[in-house]
Chains A and B, each alone.
Chain A
């Protein structure tokens, strides 16, 4: 790829999966309009999902998934030692993702529920930054390929990249989506960082907060808004704990709403 006719250095990239659905890595093979250009801007030297080539010489490591078993700690540390830039790639890597929902369970019960009398090794789920230093985080469940392309272009050209500071609501309004709150439903758009172009409110699901908090979110005000629309704290807690990025808001959502319960 050339920019102003100067060929940029092709960084060597490794893509690695810890505990997750591998949906974030899959996004790298999406967006056919730009796939060839994208793949020619970087040199993919280690990406088990699509290649049996395996090199330990890479400058950038993309880590998808969270840490949920002790053997993953050693693999992650080895990758950290080799990579110049380590990127936590996707919500599982940035916040623990849905995997973290198991952390509040009784591990013996949980193991029996799934494996009966043959329990399997497992540990509490941690995001990447709790195990090794992280240089850059790309949230999203899954990550947005368009955003990944913007970030990679910035990295390759050596330009600084910044995420939007505003919440998902801004992008949602730009799409003219009917607000989920006006339909009596819950949406985490007001407290979640934009950049995804708000697909979930538009699809009718509402935002579940996969990208983590926007800059300086006002949780008290958000909870008041949700409660005033008749949404109970039990539902709020289920939503706020879903992807693992809203621990402090979760702590605040401990009361069921009292008298405020207008008909939606």
Chain B
């Protein structure tokens, strides 16, 4: 048999941004497989040079339409570290609450709108509008509540307006927080149905051993700042981000690649889960258990389940934070005093797709001399590529047809929920 199979996916659908999959198989042997990012670069790091530090969170939010809150937060933390500013407790709580809103909306978007259609054999969620309107209504409702959380705390779902260097500009009204408390109380019921839906999905059985990198939880599941840890034993402060990410440029990609202890590493929900399982809320742990996900899982398709687990965890934390904020005087202590000074600082934030680093060097007038942003999908790209090679090899060995291989490989890339325009920025 000298059958030739070619898979050529130009601009993969149901991912953010532009990336291609190329596979060539001859007589059941893999000849070539590649994940290539072809997105147009925007040169954010160069644009930032010479700008005032207060512009950075506003500008870098525009790196990504899905995780703009995470970018703003990483930017703020990098600048605050450069300026030696510690933000007040209330501001930290508000920022984390906005962060949970973003994680929830992004995870819901991915689970329902981007991932679910593959498992249901559909091109998109749109046909469900007429066949299973209740599922679409559920997805929209859950995502809507998450968006309300962002609107209330960050002032807007996409491109936040209530953050500032030093803390927060404004805090939400208590009446709005009380409304959110009621809305969040509706989600557990929605989640029960979500779990039932996902229970019916067949998660492909595939694994390739790799290294997982994430923030390290001290007492809690980690989201903003602190030490960075890897499943291969690396443990460094966030300021050592360059030693961790080791970005390099490849010929066929506008996104850079990263590596640490091996040829590639993975970040994202599964990495956070693998490295910080013990800090998850009990309800989140039981969902993991229900789907037979336990650390350390090397199956990239399990990113989807890890997202569901994190949804349960974020929801529990968001409800706790809302309660605490309802008991806090929100009329004062929202921001610390800030004075420009020369210095450099790094901010690491766990955004939906994994750990994000921003680094800034400031001059004594508050202008940016150098900026560097290392994006989760940039760190994942090499890992996606090597996973793809291995999956294509196994598919070839099993003698699968081109349509099936294309679907499996597309699902693999989607499992990482890549944010490609973000990775190129």
By a beta-carbon cutoff of 8 Å, the part of chain A in contact with chain B is 17-27, 29-33, 35-36, 39-40, 44, 47-54, 68-69, 72, 97-99, 101-102, 105, 109-111, 113-118, 120, 122, 141-142, 199-200, 202-205, 208, 235, 238, 242
Whole-angstrom distance between the Cβ of A99 and the nearest chain B Cβ: 5
Considering the chains assembled together, what is the distance between the CA atoms of A122 and B43 in angstroms? 10
Decide: A39 and B16 in contact? CB cutoff 8 A: no
Considering the chains assembled together, what is the distance between the CA atoms of A29 and B157 in angstroms? 12
Decide: A21 and B63 in contact? CB cutoff 8 A: yes
The reply to whether the CB of B141 lies closer than 8 angstroms to some CB of chain A is: yes
Interface-side segment among B52-60, B214-222, B311-319, B350-358 = B52-60
Q: List 6 A-B contacts (CB under 8 A).
A: A17-B17, A118-B250, A199-B161, A200-B161, A203-B170, A204-B162
Considering the chains assembled together, what is the distance between the CA atoms of A208 and B249 in angstroms? 34
Q: Find chain B residues with CB under 8 A from A200 CB.
A: 155, 161
Considering the chains assembled together, what is the distance between the CA atoms of A40 and B129 in angstroms? 8
Interface-centre pick from B14, B43, B157, B249 (highest chain A CB count, 10 A): B43
Considering the chains assembled together, what is the distance between the CA atoms of A117 and B256 in angstroms? 13
Decide: A22 and B65 in contact? CB cutoff 8 A: yes
* B interface: dominant SS: loop
Q: Find chain A residues with CB under 8 A from B136 CB.
A: 35-36
Considering the chains assembled together, what is the distance between the CA atoms of A32 and B109 in angstroms? 12
Considering the chains assembled together, what is the distance between the CA atoms of A118 and B247 in angstroms? 13
User: Pick the contact of B126 from A18, A44, A48, A204 — CB < 8 Å?
Assistant: A44
Q: Find chain B residues with CB under 8 A from A48 CB.
A: 11, 13-14
Decide: B144 and A50 in contact? CB cutoff 8 A: no
Decide: B65 and A23 in contact? CB cutoff 8 A: yes
User: Pick the contact of B40 from A72, A109, A238 — CB < 8 Å?
Assistant: A72
Decide: A29 and B159 in contact? CB cutoff 8 A: no
User: Pick the contact of A98 from B62, B66, B155, B168 — CB < 8 Å?
Assistant: B62
Whole-angstrom distance between the Cβ of A184 and the nearest chain B Cβ: 13
Given A53-B123, A120-B41, A204-B169, are A36 and B14 neighbors across the interface (CB < 8 Å)?
Answer: no
The reply to whether the CB of B320 lies closer than 8 angstroms to some CB of chain A is: no
Decide: B58 and A208 in contact? CB cutoff 8 A: yes
Decide: A203 and B162 in contact? CB cutoff 8 A: yes
B60-73 to A contact mask, C-beta < 8 Å, 1/0: 00111110100000
Q: How large is the interface on B (under 10, 10 to 19, 20 to 34, 35 or more residues)?
A: 35 or more
Interface-centre pick from A29, A31, A33, A205 (highest chain B CB count, 10 A): A205
The reply to whether the CB of B421 lies closer than 8 angstroms to some CB of chain A is: yes
Decide: B114 and A22 in contact? CB cutoff 8 A: no
Q: Find chain B residues with CB under 8 A from A109 CB.
A: 46
Considering the chains assembled together, what is the distance between the CA atoms of A33 and B147 in angstroms? 12
The reply to whether the CB of B202 lies closer than 8 angstroms to some CB of chain A is: no
By a beta-carbon cutoff of 8 Å, the part of chain B in contact with chain A is 11, 13-18, 40-43, 45-47, 49, 51-52, 55, 58-59, 62-66, 68, 109, 113-114, 117, 123-126, 129, 133, 136-137, 140-141, 143-144, 147, 154-162, 164, 168-170, 249-251, 254, 256, 410, 421-422
Q: Find chain A residues with CB under 8 A from B124 CB.
A: 47, 50-53
Q: Find chain A residues with CB under 8 A from B170 CB.
A: 202-204
Interface pairs A-B: 4 shortest CB-CB:
A204-B169, A23-B65, A203-B161, A32-B144
Whole-angstrom distance between the Cβ of B180 and the nearest chain A Cβ: 15
Cβ-closest chain B residue relative to A115: B249
Q: Find chain B residues with CB under 8 A from A24 CB.
A: 65
Q: Find chain B residues with CB under 8 A from A238 CB.
A: 51-52, 55
User: Pick the contact of A27 from B133, B144, B158, B254 — CB < 8 Å?
Assistant: B158
Q: Find chain A residues with CB under 8 A from B109 CB.
A: 26, 29
Considering the chains assembled together, what is the distance between the CA atoms of A216 and B51 in angstroms? 29
Q: Find chain A residues with CB under 8 A from B168 CB.
A: 204
Q: Find chain A residues with CB under 8 A from B162 CB.
A: 203-205
Q: Find chain B residues with CB under 8 A from A68 CB.
A: 40-42
Cβ-closest chain A residue relative to B52: A238
Decide: A102 and B251 in contact? CB cutoff 8 A: no
Decide: A49 and B14 in contact? CB cutoff 8 A: yes
Considering the chains assembled together, what is the distance between the CA atoms of A97 and B13 in angstroms? 25
Cβ-closest chain B residue relative to A123: B40
Q: Find chain B residues with CB under 8 A from A115 CB.
A: 41, 249, 256
Q: Find chain B residues with CB under 8 A from A25 CB.
A: 65
Considering the chains assembled together, what is the distance between the CA atoms of A118 and B41 in angstroms? 13
Interface-centre pick from B40, B129, B155, B251 (highest chain A CB count, 10 A): B40
